Amino acid sequence: MPHEDRYGLPLSTASDAAASAYRDGVDLMLAGWTGTAETLERAIAADPDFALAHIARGRVHAFYQQGDLARQKAAAARELVARRGTERERSHVETLALAIEGRLPEAIAAMLKHVESWPRDAVVLSLPLGAFGLFAFSGMADHDRARHELCQRVARHYGEDWWFLTMSGWAMTENGDVAHGRAVTERGFNLRRANAHAAHAVLHAMFEDGSIDDADRLVDDWIPSYDRAGILHGHIRWHQALGALEHGDAARALAIYADVLQPSATQAPPLNVITDGASLLWRLSTYGHAVPKALWLEADATAQKLFPKSGLPFADVHMALFAAATQNNEALAARLAVIEQRLAEGKLPAGPVVPAVCRALAAFADENYAACAQMLAPVLGEVVRIGGSHAQRELIEDTFIVALMGSGELSRARTVLDARLHRRPSFRDTRWQAAMG
């Protein structure tokens, strides 16, 4: 009997061991769980000509910004699937290879075409989903809605599948249907608790609906089951640090930073290393808490090694946080020159919001609050184009509110903050409330 994946799709391997390891490896990958790479390596060892195992391994390399290794796996998978693979597997390999190579428009087009024919190919469907997926990093202003609508189109093919419930629920949450999104995500989480993406998605819903204390308890209860090497371990604790900040507990937020987010402690993928660290330190400073300069300098040194050149707008904005906080005007100017050149050439899908935000952050760090607010006001509605989640992007609105306060525009600041409090009743950092009177 031919081998199949967990979703009933045929696998071109005659090896029982390879098929079993591949199924397990894909589940671990979809759950953001440790052991993914090792399990996929076992599938490759059992059948070195198994193209889907190679491309899945390449995807894991890409998560960790191991570009050369990821591209090597993609090239091997293309060659292998051409010799031994079904039409579905050839399309699967090509779509993932395009994503690995950073060819986002082509990857999105290939993904949409593939999903139309094989909607239960979860690995391909996973590409556009989540805060770091193809849709989020496409520069689209409506990527939250696009993820939700895609999930709705294929929902009938998945039923009560734990992975699909996790991702479709999170898409609902990010698209504004928080109550429904949380309920759907929690269903998926309860079906498979060893699922970091589900825990993460529930935390996003709790962030949006104001259940900060519930989120804190969830992390405390669940995180002992998740190895520190897990791809989302540090980021899940980052969510807990945000909760501490909303209670005004800077000491706890800094303790979490030292435990799992600081470069010397983290085992996270490079993008999480810079975004989680920079955004937490910036929030601490913005909310009026003291941040030792040594923490910024250490994190900046690591970030410059990981992302020395401009590329992904979401990374560029966080690199601008480092440059602003450390007064590294030379680094920011060099990065901005590349960003502006790409914008002029029509090669920056996220558009003018990227350089505008970078400049505004530098003005804020220089305590030129009026200039910061003036730069941010016209682009706040476009910040969604940089990608990431709503919880991550809220940092820009935080900066705008404090810039308005710093420039004496308390009425405008109060309007924005009132909208925040209406949207997220939990937001109650005492320093902000005191500053607003």
Task: Identify whether 276 is part of a domain.
Answer: no
pLDDT of residue 432: 59
Q: Among 94, 127, 160, which residue terminates a domain?
A: 127
277-312 residue pLDDT tens: 999 999 999 988 999 999 999 999 999 999 999 889
**Rounded to two decimals, what is the model's pTM?**
0.94
Separation of alpha carbons 373 and 369, rounded Å: 6
* Cβ contact 332:363 at 8 Å: no
Q: Total domain count for the chain?
A: 2
What is the CATH classification number for the domain harbouring 58? 1.25.40.10
Task: Identify whether 174 is part of a domain.
Answer: no
pLDDT of residue 436: 53
Task: Identify whether 342 is part of a domain.
Answer: yes
pLDDT of residue 20: 98
Find the domain containing 422 and state its range: 285-436
Residues 339, 341, 346, CA angle at the centre, nearest 5°?
Answer: 95
Residues in the chain predicted with pLDDT less than 50, given as ranges, are none
pLDDT of residue 419: 82
Q: Which of 131, 130, 129, 127 is nearest to 102 (CA)?
A: 127
Region of residue 399 (left: phi > 0; alpha: psi -120 to 50; beta: else) = alpha
Task: Identify whether 161 is part of a domain.
Answer: no
Q: With the CA atoms of 218, 423, 144 and 266 taken in that order, what torsion angle do they form, in degrees rounded to the nearest 10?
A: -40
Task: Identify whether 135 is part of a domain.
Answer: no
Task: Identify whether 191 is part of a domain.
Answer: no
Which helix (H) or strand (E) covers residue 123, if one does? Answer: helix 122-126
Q: Among 127, 159, 182, which residue terminates a domain?
A: 127
98-129 residue pLDDT tens: 999 999 999 999 999 999 999 999 999 999 99
Task: Identify whether 151 is part of a domain.
Answer: no
C-alpha distance from residue 90 to each of 48, 78, 204 (Å):
17, 7, 35
pLDDT of residue 302: 95
Task: Identify whether 109 is part of a domain.
Answer: yes
Q: Among 127, 160, 186, which residue terminates a domain?
A: 127
pLDDT of residue 435: 54
Separation of alpha carbons 418 and 129, rounded Å: 31
